[in-house]
Chain A
Amino acid sequence: MTQLSISGLTVRYGGVTPLDSVSLCFDSGVCGVIGPNGAGKTTMFNVLSGFSVPAAGSVELDGRQLLRVAPHRRARLGVRRSFQQEQVIRTLTVRENVLLAAEHSGAPAASVERALTYVGLEDAHRKGSELTVLERRLVEIARCVVGTPRLVLLDEPAAGLDPEESAHLLELITGIPDEVDALVLLVDHDMDLVRAACKEVAVLDFGRLIAFGRTRDVLASAQVRRAYLGVTEDAE
């Protein structure tokens, strides 16, 4: 069981406030973080993975103060992150890519095989440069599930994939909590993906949290639909 507590998180720079007093609590499972562009979703991920320093607030992961930990040390605590622009290393093979993630997060080398089997990439000798877009996304998932991850941050993991490939990826994402008992936070603009994968969803707008709860309820709320889905009462 993973527990993530975010309390009063505020980020400010250059006169802008990308995150404003956001407080959330998550447990294991797949949870979505949605909102219009500029709502602060990626900023939140940046704070969780250490690329942004908040002006105020705290983050607790399994009782541990995350913000005090240096960015590169968070992987050892079980924080994994994928980026919108995939970061598969072109000059290394699939196996080496996943092995690297294992080595630097303190996972045993044996877990590499398990991760590769989970995503279905058994032919692991091909170089990163030889892979298709889907295969690169799969490598990223494998890197996220190797060892014992606690918090997996997926930033638009299905970007660049067609519906069929997205569905395949969706299955893998929803399976992560069962496979490794981690909390998966998913940022995506594809509402079908969010609806299908996430049990809970948090909605951000202009840096503020405007809704949080079960996916079905949140997505049906009028306020959310107005802010994000752009649907007005009249159009209904």
Chain B
Amino acid sequence: MIVQRFMGRHGTAQLMAGIAVGIAAAIIVPDVPGIGDGLGLRTVTVALIYSLAGVAAAVLYGRLGLVSIMQVALVAVGGWATLRLHYLTGLPFEVVMVLAAVLTAVIGTVLSLPALRLSGLSLAIVTLMIAGALEVITQYFGFPNGGHGFAGYDTTGVAQTMPRPWLGHSDPAFFRYVVVVVLVVMVALWCVLSARPGRTWAAIRQGDAGAIASGINVTAYRILALAVTSAVTGLAGALLAANSGVLDPISFKAQQSVLLFATVLIGGAFSLFGAVIAGLLFYAFPQLLTSWGVNGNLVFVVLGLGTVQAITTTPTGIAGQLGGLWQVVRRRLSKKSEAHR
């Protein structure tokens, strides 16, 4: 009876399933031959990290109807903050990670705020501008490597790298560390989405006028969404920095933000699972193509076409398609079991 009521809360069953799959993956994947070792494991790890940035874009788009094309730029901000704080304070990685997330939340919110008051289209444009600006700024400042000054970048001497967190030194251990962080974030987001903020965001998406009439401070809740999603993206930046100990500006070009947004649309912007697919599409898929000897630039074409298709015909993305398929299967199975009775 209690279990039934608990499961009745829509999505709880899916959440449980997701957590179970995540834990299983954490345990099994590093031992799977082909994927679980060397480059394969590192690829999957980074793909999962980017799925955090993806989930941020997905929540903004799927739940609030906001287009934010700067998530990878915010990943750069989070990564920069992590490295800088590490060399500045020497605090344990977990603390630095949280601080970097907070900093990214502040920056992401402040930068987007003016455009938010103008129009949704303006926000999309302004976030693209931010991505463009940060591309060049990260190239100019570089990422901290133990040097002096505000930028902490030392071009001359020995470049240091940030060590991995204590619990995640080896590749398999770090993979599990990342899985745990991703699971924690997804569960936290699910809780937020099922509670008042999620309901309020749904009301805002339905219509500003109705929301205001219900007593909702629309701007405040949009700020909240920006802050939460930017913080999550900052976490991704921190993990990315921890992964290799150093970051390269080349990973944070404006086109990366556009590509990530595309993968979120294709993977499915309405479910947390879709964000995981997005991360894989964003990072693992191009590596896969390259290993098959296919020209990496075709990724742009595939993702571009995928975006057009996702917008015009399959708005719920791959995750939505899979979900629909699962429903069909479930119905067939329950029909069969009824026929047998």
Which residues of B are in contact with A by a Cβ distance under 8 Å?
8, 10, 196, 199-200, 202-203, 206-207, 209-210, 212-218
Contact = CB atoms under 8 A, between A and B. Distances in A.
A72 B218 contact: yes
A73 B215 CA distance: 6
B215 A49 contact: no
A92 B200 CA distance: 10
A116 to B, nearest CB: 16
A8 interface: no
B206 A87 contact: yes
B199 A100 contact: yes
Contacts of A51: 209, 212
Interface in A98-123: 99-101, 103-106
B222 to A, nearest CB: 12
Tell me which of B8, B10, B202, B214 has the highest count of chain A C-beta atoms within 10 A of its own C-beta.
Answer: B214
Nearest to B216: A104
A105 B199 contact: no
A170 to B, nearest CB: 22
Q: How many interface residues does chain A have, given as a range?
A: 20 to 34
Contact of B207 (A74, A87, A96, A99): A87
Contacts of B206: 87, 89-91
Given A83-B209, A87-B209, A90-B206, A75 B199 contact: no
Given A92-B199, A104-B200, A75 B215 contact: yes
A94 B182 CA distance: 32
Q: Which 3 pairs, one residue from A and one from B, show the smallest C-beta to C-beta distance?
A: A75-B215, A87-B210, A104-B215
Contact of B213 (A76, A83, A99): A83
A81 B211 CA distance: 11
A105 B10 CA distance: 25
Given A92-B199, A99-B199, A143 B209 contact: no
A228 B111 CA distance: 52
B212 A72 contact: yes
